[in-house]
Structure 1
Amino acid sequence: MRQARIVTDTEQKRINTYLNTRRHAVRDQTIFAVSFNAGLRAMEIAALTVGDAYTDDGTIRDVINLTTTKGGYARRVFVNKRLHTALRRYRACIKTNTPHKPLFPSQKGGHFSGNTMCQLFLEVYAACGIHGASSHSGRRTMITRLADKGISVHVLAAIAGHRNIATTQRYLTVNDAMIARAVELV
């Protein structure tokens, strides 16, 4: 199975520029922020509710407790500063404080399906000319960047919600810059 492409910083800027032109620009930018900063799968993003991201008074949660995951195992997702900023901006766009309502409503107002969320990612990547990217690209990009910064595979597995580090290792890509930095540590 071919792995999702890792997205460069330049490509991420191109994505954000393109997303500014879309009808639901802030929603879509926040969806991509969740993908790249929390490493969630498309089905996990689609299942998020307002109450997952915000408290009853509208405060952004520091930790999102996921119950809808690939393996069915609940996990905690920590909200970093970039994602916090995106969620703060998005808060003004949300038309409800009802905790069980979808965080990212579809055009019909309900939850996206996992498949429809995948299609949104594919549509945006295609419009930006980023070939080989998929809904998993944000997740893989995040995990690889953290590995590049020296985060242990055990921590990466916990972030990704993997029960086996061998699964996490498949996400990682070694590049020349990583090798050059590694040999300088000798």
Structure 2
Amino acid sequence: MPGRQAKAITPAMLRRMLAYVGGTDFTVRDRVIILLSVKAGLRACEIARLDWSMVLDARGQLSGFIEVRDEIAKKRGGRRIPMHSDLKCALVKLKGRRVAIGPVIRSARGGAMQPNSIVNWFVTLFKALEFGGCSSHSGRRTFITNAARNAHRTGCSLRDVQLLAGHKSIEVTQAYIDGHTNGQRRLVALS
């Protein structure tokens, strides 16, 4: 897919993705992988390297934030992302199934998944669901687009979206934001 952006995930597509993984041997883990991408905007490498210490507070309870540390982030672009309620519920379920030490996402053998394994996991999922144009970056693009569209409702700006994405420049963040044809029609109609 060189030169083209990953397709964003619609709410209907997300429902299908979550329903599909509901029938797997790793339902709880797979749900967390999807939500880390779509509801936190994490890259495949960040999902693979995310450690429980980055989502738990000092008492061992789930925090209200994900601490994406510099050592797992692209270009050392660490950041603090508020935890979406759906993701928090999924992490609570995952935490209840194992000792919450080490990698959040583990392979079938129990070790940490590699970033390429996360990329391939998404390839397999999107192929099974026949979601052409989607990749492991689709969830991240969806997160950034949704954040940008809703920024004005929360008193935020594109700078806040940039910080959540961990981008060094606002231009990179803007390139992720998907246009909205129906929204553009409404905007022109109001002008």
Q: Same fold (TM over 0.5)?
A: yes
1:132-143 alignment, distance < 5 Å: 132-143=133-144
Letter in 2 for 1:83: L
Partner of 1:159: 164
Q: Which residue of the other structure, out of 73, 89, 96, is the alignment partner of 2:99?
A: 96
Query: Shift in Å at residue 77 of structure 1?
Result: 1.7
Give, in whole Å, the separation in 1 of the partners of 2:89 and 2:133.
28
- Kindly indicate whether residue 82 of structure 2 is the aligned counterpart of residue 78 of structure 1: yes
Partner of 2:121: 120
Residues 40-60 of structure 1: per-residue CA shift (max 9 Å, x gap): 000000001122122364411
Give, in whole Å, the separation in 1 of the partners of 2:113 and 2:163.
26
Residues 6-34 of structure 1: per-residue CA shift (max 9 Å, x gap): 11111111111110111101100011011
Give, in whole Å, the separation in 1 of the partners of 2:48 and 2:189.
43
Query: Shift in Å at residue 177 of structure 1?
Result: 2.0
- Residue ranges of structure 1 left out of the alignment (5+ in a row): none
1:2-151 alignment, distance < 5 Å: 2-55=4-57, 57-67=59-69, 68-93=72-97, 95-98=98-101, 101-151=102-152
Alignment partner of 1:149: what SS? helix
Q: Aligned-pair RMSD on alpha carbons? A: 1.6
> Which range moved further: 84-93 or 59-68?
84-93
Give, in whole Å, the separation in 2 of the partners of 1:19 and 1:112.
17
Compared CA separation, residues 97 and 86, structure 1 to 2 (3 A): closer
Alignment partner of 2:176: what SS? coil
- Residue ranges of structure 2 left out of the alignment (5+ in a row): none
Aligned length: 183
Alignment partner of 1:64: what SS? strand
Letter in 2 for 1:109: G
The normalised TM-score by structure 2 is 0.89
Alignment check: 8 A CA contact 2:122 2:136 kept: yes
Give, in whole Å, the separation in 2 of the partners of 1:148 and 1:74.
23
Give, in whole Å, the separation in 1 of the partners of 2:128 and 2:135.
13
Residues 132-178 of structure 1: per-residue CA shift (max 9 Å, x gap): 11110001011112222244321111110011000001101212222
Give, in whole Å, the separation in 1 of the partners of 2:62 and 2:190.
39
> Which range moved further: 176-185 or 114-123?
176-185
Give, in whole Å, the separation in 2 of the partners of 1:128 and 1:58.
36
Runs (4 or more) in structure 1 with deviation over 6 Å come to: none
The normalised TM-score by structure 1 is 0.91
Alignment check: 8 A CA contact 1:148 1:178 kept: no
> Which range moved further: 48-57 or 104-113?
48-57
